[in-house]
């Protein structure tokens, strides 16, 4: 853990697609154990910001330290963080258990936690979008990240799934992890968040 206690220290981050700045001059600091909600309309830059911080894409300008590592230390950051993206990035032909076994052989307990133990040995290709989201949550839990980036975690889930997300966020925070949540579900996430960052046209509003 960095001596300054900062999980994320971002300064003037920017990312451009063509002539449009998806993220422009975004700066913030976040401590370990905090939950930050990133709010904003569609196209405001929420997903782009999470993808920069998780090293899925590179920033065009600015700098950031994530878990004590510069964004250029991509492999180190990826080992210590987890990203729940819009896409599940699961292997369709493998079962839920087989997908998770790529991370850890201890899959039974986490499959039970996300409500999929009875479907553990079914191919992911037979799963609904909500079930795939649950497998993705199980993968995040198995990674035991210092920092978790959750992009629209409530999407495609039913009310029971909403409760699962809230429990998972609480467990991550309780373990000392930092959680960054990009969401449209502002009222729901506000109950979980310590910090709110609102983006408008890629800038901090």
Running DSSP on this structure, what letter comes out for residue 58? -
Residue 13 lies in a domain: no
Residue 7 lies in a domain: no
What is the CA angle 23-28-31, rounded to 5?
135
- The pLDDT, as a whole number, for residue 5 is 82
Between β-strands 195-200 and 203-204, what pairing exists: parallel, antiparallel or unpaired?
antiparallel
In the sheet that 35-39 helps form, which strands lie side by side, from edge to edge? 81-84, 147-151, 178-182, 35-39, 195-200, 203-204
Residue 42 lies in a domain: yes
Using left for φ > 0, alpha for ψ between -120 and 50, and beta otherwise, residue 89 falls in left
Cα distances (Å, whole numbers) of residue 98 to 11, 114, 149, 161: 40, 16, 23, 22
With H, G, I as helix, E, B as strand and everything else as coil, classify residue 190.
helix
Dihedral pair phi/psi, residue 65, rounded to 5°: -110, 125
| CATH classification at residue 186 | 3.40.50.300
One digit per residue, the tens of pLDDT, for the chain of length 205 reads 565 789 999 999 999 999 999 999 999 999 999 999 999 999 999 999 999 999 999 999 999 999 999 999 999 999 999 999 988 899 999 999 999 999 999 999 999 999 999 999 999 999 999 999 999 999 999 999 999 999 999 988 999 999 999 999 998 999 999 999 999 889 889 999 999 999 999 999 9
Between β-strands 20-31 and 6-17, what pairing exists: parallel, antiparallel or unpaired?
antiparallel
Print the domain residue range for 147: 33-58+73-204
Residue 40 lies in a domain: yes
- The pLDDT, as a whole number, for residue 86 is 86
Residue 196 lies in a domain: yes
Residue 94 lies in a domain: yes
Overall number of domains in the chain: 1
Helices of type H across the chain:
46-53, 74-80, 96-101, 108-113, 129-143, 159-174, 186-190
Residue pair 46/204 in contact (Cβ under 8 Å)? The answer is no
Residue 22 lies in a domain: no
- The pLDDT, as a whole number, for residue 1 is 56
- The pLDDT, as a whole number, for residue 87 is 86
Residue 193 lies in a domain: yes
């Amino acid at each position: 853990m960095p001596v300054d206690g900062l999980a994320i220290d971002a300064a003037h981050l920017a990312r451009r697609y063509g002539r449009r700045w998806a993220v422009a001059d975004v700066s913030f600091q976040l401590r370990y154990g905090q939950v930050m909600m990133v709010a904003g309309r569609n196209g405001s830059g929420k997903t782009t910001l999470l993808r920069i911080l998780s090293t899925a894409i590179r920033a065009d300008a600015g700098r950031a330290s994530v878990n004590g590592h510069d964004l250029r230390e991509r492999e180190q950051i990826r080992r210590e963080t987890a990203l729940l993206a819009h896409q599940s990035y699961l292997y369709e032909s493998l079962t839920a258990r087989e997908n998770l076994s790529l991370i850890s052989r201890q899959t039974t307990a986490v499959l039970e936690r996300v409500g999929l133990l009875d479907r553990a040995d079914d191919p992911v290709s037979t799963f609904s979008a909500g079930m795939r989201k649950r497998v993705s949550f199980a993968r995040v839990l198995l990674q035991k990240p210092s920092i978790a980036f959750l992009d629209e975690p409530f999407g495609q889930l039913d009310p029971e799934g909403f409760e699962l997300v809230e429990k998972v966020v609480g467990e991550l925070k309780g373990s000392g992890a930092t959680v960054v949540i990009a969401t449209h579900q502002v009222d729901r996430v506000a109950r979980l968040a310590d910090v709110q960052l609102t983006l408008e046209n890629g800038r901090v509003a």
